[in-house]
Every structure is written in C-alpha cells, then in structure tokens.
Chains A and B, each alone.
Chain A
Amino acid sequence: MRNKYDIIVIGGGHAGAEAAWAASRLGASTALVTLDPTRIGQMSCNPAIGGLAKGQMVREIDALGGLMGIATDNTGIQFRMLNRSKGPAVWGPRAQADKYKYAVEVQRLLSTCPNLDILNGEVSEILTDDSKAVRGVTLANGARIGCRAIIVTTGTFLRALMHTGEKKTEGGRVGEGAARGLSGCLAKLGLELGRLKTGTPPRIKKESIDFSKFDEQLGDDEPAPFSHLNEYQPRKNWAPPLQQVSCWIGATNQTIHDIIRANLHRAPMYSGQIQSTGPRYCPSIEDKVVRFADKPSHHIFLEPEGLDTNEIYCNGISTSLPADVQEQMIRLVPGLERAEILRYGYAVEYDMVWPTQIRSTLETKAIRGLFLAGQINGTSGYEEAAAQGLIAGVNATRDLREDSSDFVLGRDEAYMGVLVDDLVTKPPTEPYRMFTSRAEHRLHLRNDNADERLTPIGREIGLVDDSRWAQFENRRQQIEDGIALLRATRVEGVTASDWLRRSESDWTKLAEKLPEARAVEPSIARLIEVRVKYEGYIARQDRQIEKFAKMESKLIPASIDYATVVGLRNEAKQKLSTFTPRSLGQALRISGITPADITLIAIHLDKKR
C-alpha cells in the first residue's frame, strides 16, 4: 500500500467501481477503499440491470467506455428488451444478472485496470487543508493516505440503520456494518445531510417454491447486448455467455392484505420508527395495500439471484414488517405455501448529502477535490449510481490537470446529463430514479444511438480506446452510407428516405422496391430506419426546445455576486446563491426562479461584458 494517490474512491458499489475504472484508466493513480473487497460490485437489491430509461443509461455508460455494460453482458441470465411494442425511442434493455458472478466480473474488470489499488478499510475522516481542498483520508485503523481528490460513493452505508419490524440493526446491508464516522466528518466539513429510506423484499429458497402456480416469463429469443462492443460484431448475433433462465409472475390476495393491515402498527414506516422518505415508485407492500386499498391483488415477480444459488428475489413485495408477519404473508401466496425465507425483507435508512451542494461535475461546492456519487446524492438504482461514478471519476481526473475543462453532459446528449442536471437543480424529496418522461429530448436519447451520441465524447475524454473507436467509426460510416443512399434514390416519385418515413412503410417493403436496400446489413438497416422515422419529429422537438438551448449555452461565471444584480428579488438571490447554476437554462429550472429573474441576470451579465 502506498501512502499517496491522486484519487481515493470511498466505497465499491456501482458508483465506486465505475469511478475507479474511469479514473485509473485515465491515468490517475487511484485507490478504492472499501469495507469488504469481496463485495465490490454487489447487487444489494434486485438482481437486474437496466430497464426503462435505466437501460438507456447503461448503454450510455458503455458508449463512454464505462464497465457496467460489459459486466452485465458477461453475467446476464435473462435478457429482455422492454417496450418493444412501442417506438424504438422508448425501448429499454433489461437483464437479470447472476448477482454473484456480476460482482466477481466487476472485480475482475477492476483488476485489469492499471494504476488501481483496492484497499480494505473504513475511511473515518476526510482531511482538508486551510484552503478547503482535500489532502487525504484517515482510516479507522489510524492509517493516513494522502490524495488530491476523493470520490465518496457510500451508498446506503452512511449511518445506516436496517429495520425489520421492531428490530433495528446497524448496517447498510444484511450481515454488514455501517460507515459511522464519515457522516459526522461530512457535516463538519459544512455539508448539509438529509436522510432517505429504501427497502428490499424477502429472499426465498428455490426448492421450496411450487413454480407450477406461477406464470413463466421468458427472455428474448434474440438477446440484445448492453455493450456496443458485443453489438459491433459483424453479421453475427451476439449470444450471452451464461445459461439463460426464466422469471415467474404470481400475485398477492385479499387474505394477505388483511394480515398486512392488521399488523400495520408493527411496520416501521407506520409506527413512526422510520421518518425518512422512501420512493413513491417503489413502495413497500404495506404502502401499496394502504394507498391502493381497492386493488384486490399485487404482482409478485420471482427473480433468480444467480445460477449457482437457490436464492429467489421476490420483486414487488419489499417490506419492513416483522419476520413473523413476513412468514405468514409469504405462505399465503399461491405457490409459496411451503416457502422457506432465506433472508427477511428490510427497510434501510441512510444519510445523504443534499445535492444542491454539488456542481454538475459532482464536486462539492464547499470542498475542492471532494466528489460525491450515487445514493449519497439522493438517487436510487445501480444505473443511476454507475452513471454518476463515471462522471465523478472523469471530472476528478480532469481536476488534477489544471487546464482541463469540466465534463458535463447536456440534457440533450444523455440521460446521464438529465440525471445530474435534475439533481443539482431540484433537490430530491425521494430517492431519485430515472424515467424516460424526465427527458424532454426523449426521442433523441435512444438505446440504439447511445454510441452515436456519446462515443465521440468518450474518445475525447480518453475512455474510448483505439479498438472501440475503430469499430464505432466503421458502424457510423455504414449508417451514413445507408442514409446517403436513401437520400439519393427515388421510390414512387419521392426520395427513398421520404418514402420510408411514411407510417405504413418499413425496411422490408423498401427492400422489395429498392434492390440496393437489400444489400444493407439487417442490423444497420434497423438503425437507419429508426433514424429516418424519427428525423422529422426530432427536428420539431429540437425547435420546441431551441430557446432553451440558447439559454443553456449562456454560462454564468462562478464569480457572479447575485446580491449586485439590480432588481433581483431576495428570494431569487438566495436560491441562485445556493444552487449556483452553471447556465441561464439551468437557473430557469430551479424551482421558484422565473423568466423575469433570468432576464435580469442576462442584463447583468451583458453589462459586465
């Protein structure tokens, strides 16, 4: 172990792994400090990666040169493209992963990183100097390690408290401890902390389930990979390396709901034992029963946690009810009469840092070189965490080289950009999860064009290596050639692209009329078709948002003193001083900031020039 690194990453979850991957591959000497190195890349909650909007984000991480897509492809045991019945803009790839193999794969990928040391330990203190810049960390065993930047990715572990009924256990995950010292240290550094809650369902022993009473849910016949590297293989369909398995769908019933109602006083969320806010989109089963009392039943999804384990994850019934109640309700589910619970569901409360205190680079405004990523910023989900980890890793590295500019993705470039922008302008009142409806550029932020949007950026920041770049350029050239062909050829009196744009047209019909179209490789043809079909709509969507884009490009210097902006309301001055938006567009998205305020700032900036 060295006593000095460029960057220290605290935590080895999905944010920490991605941050360490990016930072070390960009050439920074990096240390990842974790309470337990064997848990790096652990899937604490459901054994799945991706989904709607989240899947697009994994594709973005991959297009930039991140690790999540590769790890998922290598350990996925069921692949499904969600929303396939809808337009390709909202298709979302999702995979069940073998959670044990996934963690091992992440650890393997990290072991290939140059410049990266994995350290076993608990960071108890962040050291800063007089100029409020990070200098290093102190570990619980008293050891000191120097560094120039720190990325904190502590997930649910900050002052973590688990609840199962009346029983409270310190710790961020079953069988693991909590990070106790760090919360106080962050508060001492002047950061304002909040507290959030999330929950997880019971895990059941596979052999004790009567699967005949559940509906089987199969994966796709032709699984689509997350990583573009697997997709670039020419004229050959990618196949997942691991054996593929099924999931199962069942349901709760009124008898179960009655038991839950009768025991509500023992549920920490209802007894007052938990006061922090949980996510509305992922309510506990007790929440569902109370808030949607007229709904006679709720789905239960049985998801295998891996190939070599008998643990089955019961998606849909996350709960913090006491163990005896969990036993009762589980056994009333048709097919689970003899079910054996391997691990009870629990709720976990943890500290977070209000993200108004970070910039779009994920660096804290108060402490130079201190970056936060993942659940500590109030988000939920592996994909949201990984996205932030990558952004923080890149920015922390760029910070070391004084002349580098910030790595900030726009809302029109990536879901990752929407994520960060939402975090820094609207403090989350519940764990933040990505939805496609959060992105005003949804038609453009697609799963199929993630590389087109982001691989050039990944190349620029240095995460895309020569091999990926060459494959990407080849793919891009093929698409461009195809589009040029459509523009230059006429079908039934119009250009082939106009013909294809019609709602009743598709590539197969075009190929009947246009021999040249038949020569285009099917995977490329699909991509061209999507681009052509959406072209007009995206142009219109862009016009709708055009004004916005102008505001986006008007940056507000960090040195601005809002107190001196003539005519600005006090409320606006306070809010703007708190959020320190980077652009006029971002300023307008802060709740309570009006167009009139923006005009005043614009005038102020013009006068200064």
Chain B
Amino acid sequence: MVVRLSGSNATSIAQHVLVEAYAFPASTGARLRFRVRDLPSFPGWVYSFRSPKSVTGEDVVELHLPGNPLVARMLLEDLIAHGARQADPGEFTARAYFNGRIDLAQAEGVAATIAAQSDAQLQAARQLLGGELARRLRPAMDSIAETLALVEVGIDFSEEDVTFLSTEQIHSRLDSADRALDDLLRESARFEDVTHEPQIVLVGRPNAGKSTLLNALVGEERAVVSPVAGTTRDAISAHVTLPHGVVRIIDVAGIEKTSDRQRHLSATASAQADIDRQMQERAQQMIQSADRVVLAIDPADPDPPLDLPRKPDLIVYTKADLSASAPTVHNSVSVSALTGGRMTELCQQLDRLAFEREGGQALTLNSRHLQCIATAREAIARARELAQSNVAQELLAMELREALDAVGQILGQVTPDDVLGRVFATFCIGK
C-alpha cells in the first residue's frame, strides 16, 4: 500500500510518522521504521524525490506500507493531523501540469485515464499521457515556428546581412507542416470513437426471454419478467460490464407485426394501436442506430424469423434449460439465463462485438484537438496563398502566428520571445 505526499512540506510531514530523523535524499528509497500512534513500530520503504525532479515537480515522499487498511488509515490520519490533506481527484496531475512537468496533452491523458471506462479508452489515455500526441505534433509545430521565425527575420531584420527565404522554400516548409498535421489526422482514431459507449440492442419476439437475459447480464432485476408475452412495453437499458469495458444494452419493446400482437392481446382500442405503432417505430430506430444488434430467439417458437431492418450481429438461443435442441448457426450462442449455462461465452461474444476494432493502437484525438488542428490547417492554407507574393510578409506572418497559436492550444504557446530566440540562434543579427 502506497501513500504519496506532494508539496513543499512533504518531507517535514512525513518525518512525523518515522521513528528516526531522516534527510529524504533526492531520488532515494530506504527501508525505515514507521511509527503510527501507539502501535508497535513497523518497517516499510520510504522513497523521496526532491523538487523539481519528481512526478509533480514538488517534493514528493512515497510511504510504502504493509497492506493493512487499518494501519494505512491511521497513518493517513496522522499525516493529516500534521498538516497534510487528501488530494482532490486529479490533483497530482494538475500540480504536475502547473509545475511544468507534463504538457496539457499529457494532463488531459491523465484525466481521461481516471475517467476511462474501457480498455480502448485507457489505451488512448496512456498514449496521450506518454506524450505521444506531443511527440507527433511537435515536428509540425516546430516547422511552423521555424517558418514564422524566418519570415520575421525578413521583416524585423531586413537591413541585416542575412539570406531570406524564397517563395519556394516557404511553400515547401508549409507543405511539410501541413502534411504532418494531415498524417496525424489520418492515422488517429477519434477520441469520440473510443470514449463512445457501445450500444447493443437486444431484439426478439415477445417472450423470447430478452428481459431474463438482460437481468442475468446485469446481475440485478432490471426488467420486469413475466411469462406473459409483451410485458416489456418500452425500451429498458442497463450498463453491463464486459471484460474490455462497459456497454449499454437496450432491451427494446417486442418487435412484431400488428397481426402477431393481435393474436396475443384481444383488446384493440385504436389508441392502444397507436401507442403500439409508435413503440414499434422507436424500436426500429434504435435497431438502426445501435452499434450492434443481438437477436434473441426461443428455439421452441414456431413462428417464422422476425423481419429486422438490419442483420443481427449475434443470435442468442434462449431457454437452453427448456429446450436442448437449439440449431447451431454461425454467430450464435445458446444460453440459459436462469441456470447461467454458457453465459460466460455470451459475455465474451458481446465483448468481442463491442470492443474489437481494427488496429486499435491508433492515437486518439478529442474534439478540441481536432478543432485546433483544423484551425491550424486553414491558416496554413491561407499562408500558402499569401506566400505567392513577397509584399504580404506581415500577413503571412499573421497566418503563421494563427496556425502556431492553434497548435499551441494543445502543446503550449510559442511566445514572440521564443520566435526571436530562434532568429538569434540561427542568424547573425546585428549591425
């Protein structure tokens, strides 16, 4: 069990729970004895990292304790009594960002990790966190910044003895920056794709056992279950945790032709028929828009297959406990929600349907990133046009500045000082 302290008082507060005085040397681990209230002292590891070389950029002390929750809680209370406080969610990340240890994209990665609901999201978050986005974006940003620096040389130091950029050189630089951004877009998944919660619609004839199935997947009574067909009058949905993440399973109202329904229910008030029709329409829409469609079939049902607006991704033969004679069809599984028979296999199938994607390693961009990159590319396109003429250098610089600011929204701003710094490093300026 690890307790982590960060801040300028981290070491002095940590000292209170140690038996002996300790210097907390930088980037060092030591086996020391802990003292917590009146408990007998016990050994553990203390790792100390000094500012700025720590994860948050502040002094950080990690206390590694034996895994006893009660001891940990008492120790935590002791630390708080001596001036520590519990971190807010994401506070370590926020501090790391504020102290310049990670860039904005990395910080967003951490926030996404905390909120991640699926492996794919976690993977995406890890890549952001590792600075993958920064690593991929940096060359484009450098290219724009360098071009701007060269254009600024032409404006601010036109009297100097330096060679200025030709139109062709500006074009080729802008092209390469634009290409880098374009590559990034093409090779990236949309963060919305991975943060999107997969929707699986469960369809089937009335009394095909959908609600029982849903209840079994959720592990709690969700849908009202009764042997009367048509009990589920409206869509019922529930979150189901699968091996790779959480999906939403929607149990739509029984899909059937009006004639079917009339066989089961004799009351046919026109109002009722109207409600039924509306429900049917909604069900059809849900099937159309769902990520996946799962068709539940009672093998004992003698009626012909349902006419669905799209082909189901998986067929589930229900009530395997009642009938052992389910047909073996491709993409199908036969289960008994009541006895739990082959439910694990169903979960794996659903998991595959919901989370399998091609080349799932892609870097992911959220809508803010996309917006920034799009703004940058538009500015670069305008810059390309302006670069045709030598007169409009100051307008060219304005477009490049806009492109740089847009990318800077992701990686942090490039200031005029940074641009001038590039100029002075590259050119011999000064009469």
Contacts and interface: CB of A to CB of B under 8 A. Distances in A.
B158 A443 contact: no
B398 A443 contact: yes
Given A288-B428, A299-B431, A442-B394, A82 B420 contact: no
B343 interface: no
A295 interface: yes
Contacts of A52: 155-159
A51 interface: yes
Contacts, number: 103
Contact of A298 (B156, B157, B401, B428): B428
Interface in B361-415: 389-395, 397-398, 401-402, 405
Given A82-B158, A594-B98, A295 B395 contact: no
A525 to B, nearest CB: 18
Interface stretch (A122-130, A153-161, A368-376, A432-440): A432-440
B210 to A, nearest CB: 48
Given A288-B428, A316-B431, A90 B8 contact: no
B431 A90 contact: no
A569 B405 contact: no
B91 to A, nearest CB: 10
Given A87-B394, A89-B394, A544-B402, A436 B155 contact: yes
B155 A85 contact: no
B159 A437 contact: no
Contact of B156 (A85, A282, A437): A437
A52 B155 CA distance: 8
A470 interface: no
Contacts of B281: none
Nearest to B99: A571
Decide if the interface of chain A is mainly helix, strand, loop or mixed: loop
Contacts of A438: 416, 420
A570 B6 CA distance: 13
Nearest to A80: B159
Contacts of A592: 100
B279 interface: no
Interface string B412-426: 000011011000100
Contact of A51 (B152, B159, B398): B159
Nearest to B159: A82
A295 B430 CA distance: 14
A46 B402 CA distance: 36
Chain B interface SS verdict (over half): helix
A86 B155 contact: yes
B429 interface: yes
Nearest to A426: B417
A280 interface: yes
- Give the size range of A's interface with the partner: 35 or more
Nearest to B429: A281
B389 A503 contact: yes
Contacts of A291: 428
Nearest to A288: B428
Among B98, B100, B157: residue with most chain A CB under 10 A: B98
Interface in A554-583: 569-571
Nearest to A315: B431
Contacts of B157: 52
B161 interface: yes
Contacts of A219: none
A442 B395 CA distance: 10
A592 B57 CA distance: 13
B155 A83 contact: yes
Interface string A122-166: 000000000000000000000000000000000000000000000
B88 to A, nearest CB: 10
Given A86-B393, A571-B99, A298 B161 contact: yes
Contacts of A279: 430
A594 to B, nearest CB: 6
27 contacts: A46-B431, A52-B156, A52-B159, A53-B156, A86-B154, A86-B390, A86-B392, A87-B392, A87-B395, A89-B394, A90-B394, A280-B430, A283-B429, A288-B430, A291-B428, A298-B161, A315-B431, A426-B417, A435-B416, A436-B156, A437-B155, A442-B394, A540-B398, A570-B8, A571-B98, A571-B99, A594-B98
| A-B pairs with lowest CB-CB distance, top 5 | A292-B428, A299-B161, A280-B424, A282-B430, A437-B152
Interface of B: 8, 94-95, 97-100, 152, 154-161, 389-395, 397-398, 401-402, 405, 416-417, 419-420, 424, 428-431
